[in-house]
Amino acid sequence: MLVALRNRTYRRLFLAQVVALTGTGLATVALGLLAYRLAGPEAGVVLGTALAVKMVAYVVVAPLAGALAGLVPRKAMLVGLDLVRAAVAVVLPWVGEVWQVYVLVFVLQAASAAFTPTFQATIPDVLTDERDYTAALTLSRLAYDLESLLSPLLAAVVLAVVGFDRLFLGTSLGFLASAVLVVSVLLPSPRTTRRGRGAVTRGIRIYLATPRLRGLLAVHLAAAAAGSVVFVNTVGYVRDGLGLTAVDVAVALGANGCGSLLAALALPALLDRHADRVVVVRAAALLAATLVLAVPVVAATSGTWRWPVLLGLWAAVGAGGALVLTPGARLLRRSADAADRPAVFAADFALSHACWLLCYPLAGWVGGASALVVLAAVTAGATVVAVRLWPAHDPEVVEHEHDGLAPDHEHLCDAAPVAGRWRHAHPYRIDDFHARWPG
Comparing 24-28, 120-124, 146-150, 190-194, which segment has the lowest mean pLDDT? 190-194
Phi, psi values for residue 397, rounded to 5°: -90, 125
The average pLDDT across 66-95 equals 87
What number is the average pLDDT over the span 4-33? 88
Strands (E), 261-415: 397-402
Architecture of domain 1-191: Up-down Bundle (1.20)
pLDDT given at position 193: 46
Predicted pLDDT at 190: 63
Average pLDDT for 78-99:
92
**Which residues, other chains included, contact 407 with Cβ-Cβ below 8 Å and sequence gap of 6+?**
422
Task: Tell me whether the CATH fold assigned to 1-191 matches the one assigned to 200-391.
Answer: yes
The set of residues, in sequence order, having a beta carbon less than 8 Å from that of 373 and lying 6+ positions away, is 295
Cα–Cα nearest to 369, from 303, 299, 282, 287: 299
Q: What is the pLDDT of residues 311-353, one digit of tens each?
A: 999 999 999 999 999 999 999 999 988 888 888 988 998 999 9
Measured between alpha carbons, how far is 17 from 82 in angstroms, rounded to an integer? 11
What is the pLDDT, as a whole number, of residue 35? 82
- Cα separation, 263 vs 113, whole angstroms: 26
DSSP code for 434: B
Kindly state the helix (H) or strand (E) to which residue 210 belongs, with its residue range: none
Cα–Cα distance measured from residue 22 to residue 175, given in angstroms and rounded to the nearest whole number: 9
The residue extents of the domains of the chain are 1-191, 200-391
Cα–Cα distances in angstroms (integers) from residue 348 to residues 58, 92, 113, 178, 252, in the given order: 11, 29, 11, 23, 29
Strands (E), 227-311: none
**161 compared with 230, residue with greater pLDDT:** 230
pTM comes to: 0.86
Question: Candidates 1.10.10.10, 2.60.40.290, 1.20.1250.20, 1.10.3720.10; correct CATH number of 200-391?
Answer: 1.20.1250.20
Q: Which distant-in-sequence residues (6+ apart) come within 8 Å of 163 by Cβ?
A: none
Give residue 194's pLDDT. Answer: 54
Q: Are strands 421-427 and 416-418 parallel, antiparallel or unpaired?
A: antiparallel
At 261-297, the pLDDT tens digits run 899 989 999 999 999 999 999 999 999 999 999 999 9
